């Protein structure tokens, strides 16, 4: 393992992110804030939703923002760099085992997802204010869940980015990301699916469910949520699964 090479690759990604900062911020925060505004302010303010929905919604918005940011930050550049511009080849030729290049991407994506998650909290809070009732009851679990969620989204980005081709990006959104978001228990708690028992079981294969429920458990425990242990175990499981899958796919893509 060659630390200089690894850090230089991280520095490269940071440099590019800084250069595209405006676009990055826009793309990360616009959608969640619009969502927060429409459902948290408009719908609640006009009485179609109870006031408590604000607090229920916030953890879900954090989860979606993080997961989406992590996936996007890793998958999109990988798809382009492998296929279109092949610019990743320069890094594949750097004196380091190629798995570390994938891991570097995962770390860069994880950092972006964490930052996005932490920044969206005050932003959403300002939009929703007043009447949001959140507090960090268990700071350690909160940090752990944020990290686990960020890692699985970056690993998911790696697995997706190395598995699909440029022409299938639309398909990826239609078939993977959109159902994941809508059945991710982000806009409603998992217990809200009690009336749809089959669906309620099926959505358990969706890692976003554990992200939303886990954040709900640490930020707004007054609402029903999945047990903390189950959330940890499943998030850890998805982290490992997606990392292993992602590394395998990366190796396949990188070497012909």
Partner 1 sequence: MAVGVRTQDLRKIYNSAPPAGATGGFIARADAKGSKAPKTEIAALNGLSLEVLPGEIFGLLGPNGAGKSTTVGVLTTRVRPTTGQAWVGDHHVWQEQAAVKHLIGVVPQRPNLDFSLTAREILTFHAAYFGIPAKQRDERANGLLEKFKLTDRANQMVRGFSGGMMQRLSIARSMMHDPEVLFLDEPSAGLDPQTRILLWEIIREYNQAGKTILLTTHYMEEADALCNRLAIIDHGKMIALDTPQNLKASIPGGYLLRLHFGSQPPGLMDALQALAGVREVRANDGTGADVYADRGGSLIPEIASLAATTGADLRDVHISEPSLENLFLHHTGRSLRD
* Site of interaction with partner 1 (CB under 8 A): 2, 4-5, 8-9, 11-12, 15-16, 19-20, 83, 85-98, 162-168, 171, 249, 252-253, 255-256
DSSP secondary structure letters along the chain: --HHHHHHHHHHHHHHHHHTHHHHHHHHHHHHHHHIIIIIIIIHHTTSS-TTHHHHHHHHHHHHHHHHHHHHHHHHHHHIIIIIS-TTHHHHTSSS-HHHHHHHHHHHHHHHHHHHHHHHHHHHHHHH-SS-----S-HHHHHHHHHHHHHHHHHHHHHHHTTS-GGGHHHHIIIIIHHHHHTTTSSS-GGGGGG-HHHHHHGGG-HHHHHHHHHHHHH-TTS----HHHHHHHHHHHHHHHHHHHHHHHHHHH--
Q: Which is nearer to partner 1, 43 or 92 (CB)?
A: 92
Q: Which is nearer to partner 1, 98 or 118 (CB)?
A: 98
Q: Which is nearer to partner 1, 46 or 167 (CB)?
A: 167
Nearest distance in Å: CB 235, partner 1: 23
Q: Which is nearer to partner 1, 1 or 198 (CB)?
A: 1
Nearest distance in Å: CB 197, partner 1: 29
- The CB density around residue 146, as the number of other CB atoms within 10 Å, is 21
What tokens were used for 109?
């994506």
Q: Which is nearer to partner 1, 113 or 162 (CB)?
A: 162
Nearest distance in Å: CB 5, partner 1: 5
Q: Which is nearer to partner 1, 49 or 241 (CB)?
A: 241
Nearest distance in Å: CB 162, partner 1: 7
Nearest distance in Å: CB 22, partner 1: 15
Nearest distance in Å: CB 39, partner 1: 33
**CA 28 to chain centroid:** 11
């Amino acid at each position: 393992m060659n630390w200089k090479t690894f850090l230089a690759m991280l520095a490269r990604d940071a440099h590019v992110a800084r250069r595209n900062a405006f676009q990055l911020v826009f793309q990360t925060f616009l959608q969640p804030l619009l969502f927060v505004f429409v459902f948290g302010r408009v719908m609640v303010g006009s009485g179609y939703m109870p006031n408590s929905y604000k607090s229920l919604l916030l953890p879900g918005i954090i989860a979606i923002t993080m997961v989406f940011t992590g996936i996007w930050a890793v998958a999109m550049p990988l798809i382009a760099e492998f296929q279109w511009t092949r610019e990743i080849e320069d890094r594949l030729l750097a004196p380091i085992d190629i798995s570390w290049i994938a891991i570097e991407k995962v770390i860069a994506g994880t950092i972006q997802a964490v930052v996005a998650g932490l920044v969206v909290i005050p932003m959403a809070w300002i939009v929703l204010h007043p009447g949001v009732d959140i507090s960090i009851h268990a700071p350690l679990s909160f940090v752990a869940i944020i990290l686990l969620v960020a890692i699985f989204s970056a690993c998911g980005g790696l697995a997706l980015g190395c598995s699909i081709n440029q022409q299938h990006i639309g398909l990826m959104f239609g078939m993977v990301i959109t159902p994941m978001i809508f059945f991710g228990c982000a806009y409603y708690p998992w217990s809200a699916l009690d009336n749809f028992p089959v669906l309620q079981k099926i959505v358990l294969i969706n890692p976003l469910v554990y992200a939303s429920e886990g954040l709900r458990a640490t930020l707004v425990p007054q609402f029903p949520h999945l047990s903390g242990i189950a959330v940890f175990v499943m998030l850890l499981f998805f982290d490992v699964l997606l990392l292993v899958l992602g590394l395998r796919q990366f190796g396949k893509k990188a070497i012909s």
